[in-house]
A and B are shown apart, each in its own frame.
Chain A
Amino acid sequence: MNIPDYLIPMAVAIPLLGAFLTPLISKINDKLRNIFVILILALNAVIVILIASKIFTNGIMTYVFGAKDITYPVVRILFEVDAMSIFMAIICSILVLVAVIYSWAFMKDNTGLDKYYTLILLLTAGMLGMVLTGDMFNFFVFLEITSIASCALIAFWIDVDKSVEAGFKYIIISAMGALFVLFAVAILYGQYNALNIAVLSNLIQYSYLDKIALVLLIVALGMKAGIVPMHMWLPDSYGSAPSSITVILIGATLASLYGVLRVIFTLYGNVLSTLVRFDVSVNIVIGWFIVALAVVSIIIGVTMALIQSEFKRLIAYGAVAEIGYMLLGIGAGIVALGTTYGKIALNGGIFHILNDALDVGLLFLVAGSIYYATRETSLDKLCGLARNMKYTTVFFIIGLLAVSGMPPLNGFASKLLIYESTFQINPILAIVAILCSILLLAVFVKVFFSAFMGPALPKYKHVKEVPKSMLLSMGIIACIIVFIGLFPDLIINNIVEPASNALLGYSEYVSQVVGGI
């Protein structure tokens, strides 16, 4: 099938157009608006998948805004889409589509829904722009769109003091992070007079200013990706936002994580693979730094999850631990750059991005369903829900087994790759990872027995199963989880392997724009 190039900007432009049209359409009818939003997002998912099918076979695609070809010097904005970007774009569009279907019933009784859907579409455009763009300043603009939209959505339940506070915390953190990113972009622009990632990557010298820019970029984007010790905002925002929004926030967090990866592997890719300072090559330093952050994230995430009494905050700390697992795989991949087990570790880390988004997303949707049915968030008060909510219970079991890495579900497939490769680097890392995974299982099993099992309390007698649209969205994610769990090799060979090759093949990324180095 012939797939035209102009589909690439459409992946961002269609949600934007939808967002601008939503206020007008919600004048007509509320139901029409919901259908319109779902259709726009479905169309967008189709576009992303079409682009993906071309990229997984043909390699990198570029799109220049405003001119037919790349002119030198590169003044125009480029979208440069490789397998890694489109991998993230697929994750984001799946999460958003599921969240919107879930919102139909979940948010029905709230006011301000036209702005709610507008902001969801804007958030989608922001995330997709972040992952597809090939220009540093454009990345900053989309980062801001993402953070402003998600801040307003975190504070959606404005009458609840916690959510206002979480929204304020989030906007402070993300405004500061975005300003750091802008400062780093300004440093790079001042030195090299370029803004394009590929051009900058070709020119970068690793001077002192470049080091400062690298640190600022990693700190700022890591702060937005919820890596310990900058994770403080994450449990608050995940816990206080409506569940449908939390699922999209996972996508926004992962888009920031993508930014970290893009900076390390592509912007500084030249430096990473070749440069040696003081007899230690740069990749060892950066790699061990990331591994250390990862181990801290895993340990803190799991131990904090043990003591939580609120359902969504508990899952949020689980999400912090899962981000740690991704970073562990990626960091191990950077330490062992160029070896086979380094490649396996990188594959595991990237595969875990997909799995984490699905597993944690499913758990948050289950938590939202329980809130919808019982209006209760505290785990101490929930009891015996399995009697009335059979499907939700099944989905929760799938989610908990997947998130704690039990075979035969998808979490196992990626965690196994991480364990076996980190064992080659340092056995202690693998042991810590396995132990924490078991602890995570214990945490969620405890939740399962306290909330779903046990005697039926009289006040939950009239609890009903949640409406069909919510079941449908949970079902979609559960099906994908089971499918990936049954056929992990299919996903690894066709999607994850090209993505990790794209991350490592920075010279290809650069030569698409600069034309051979």
Chain B
Amino acid sequence: MIYNIPYIAVAALILLGLYALIFKRNLIKMVIGITLIESGVNLFLITLGYRKDSIAPIYTSSPGGTMAFPIPQALTLTSIVIGVAVLALMLSLVVHIYRHYGTLDVKKIRRLKE
């Protein structure tokens, strides 16, 4: 059980993010929720690739020994950059929503009703 602490951290991060996304009324907090979920998923990916007592998969002056998985690290790198891109777009839309409505409260800006 003690070995699974990183996974518990993953679950906690994702749940916090989902909580912020679903129950918070402020748009910025919703954006923070998305980024929290994203960090949770990234942590999950990188955790999957760890082997006990392993070193980074780099041969330059390496001390030798088992190496951690390189693929999850590459995938996490990709996922982080994608997260930055999504975050930039979300924040620029939030700026525009604030310009139009003068508020960030999600209940006050629902103009797209039937």
List the interface of chain A (C-beta within 8 A of B).
Answer: 75, 137, 141, 144, 148, 151-152, 155, 158, 161-162, 164-169, 171-172, 175-176, 178-179, 182-183, 186, 189-190, 195, 236, 240, 304, 307-308
Contact = CB atoms under 8 A, between A and B. Distances in A.
14 contacts: A141-B82, A144-B86, A148-B89, A151-B89, A152-B89, A164-B100, A171-B90, A178-B82, A182-B41, A182-B79, A183-B41, A186-B45, A189-B72, A304-B114
A5 to B, nearest CB: 26
A168 B97 contact: yes
Q: Which 6 A-B pairs have the closest CB atoms?
A: A161-B100, A190-B48, A168-B93, A164-B96, A236-B112, A186-B45
Contact of A141 (B78, B96, B101, B111): B78
Contact of B112 (A166, A172, A186, A308): A166
Contacts of B96: 155, 158, 164
A171 B48 contact: no
B27 A168 contact: yes
B94 interface: yes
A179 B90 CA distance: 15
Contacts of B41: 179, 182-183, 186
Interface size class of B (residues with CB under 8 A): 20 to 34
Interface of B: 14, 21, 27, 30, 34, 37-38, 41, 44-45, 48, 71-72, 75, 78-79, 82, 85-86, 89-90, 93-94, 96-97, 100-101, 109, 111-112, 114
A346 B43 CA distance: 40
B16 to A, nearest CB: 14
Contact of A165 (B14, B37, B109): B109
Given A165-B109, A186-B44, A155 B37 contact: no
B75 to A, nearest CB: 6
Contact of A164 (B34, B45, B48, B93): B93
Nearest to B82: A144
Nearest to A160: B100
Contacts of B79: 182
A162 B21 contact: no
B89 A183 contact: no
Contact of A189 (B30, B48, B78): B48
Nearest to A182: B41
A175 B27 contact: no
A171 B100 contact: no
A189 B82 CA distance: 19
B45 A171 contact: no
A456 B100 CA distance: 36
Given A137-B75, A158-B96, A165-B109, A175 B44 contact: no
A176 B100 CA distance: 25
A245 to B, nearest CB: 16
B75 A175 contact: no
Contacts of B44: 183, 186
Given A165-B109, A171-B90, A189-B45, 6 more contacts: A144-B86, A168-B94, A172-B21, A172-B90, A182-B41, A304-B114
Nearest to B101: A161
B90 A175 contact: yes
B93 A175 contact: no
A166 B109 CA distance: 11
Most central of A152, A168, A190, A307 by chain B CB within 10 Å: A168
A186 B7 CA distance: 13
A171 B86 contact: yes
Given A151-B89, A164-B100, A307 B78 contact: no
B86 A148 contact: yes
A161 B111 CA distance: 8
B112 A162 contact: yes
Contacts of A162: 111-112
B30 to A, nearest CB: 7
Given A155-B93, A182-B79, A172 B34 contact: yes
B8 to A, nearest CB: 16
Contacts of B48: 186, 189-190
Contacts of B97: 161, 164-165, 168
A166 B30 CA distance: 15
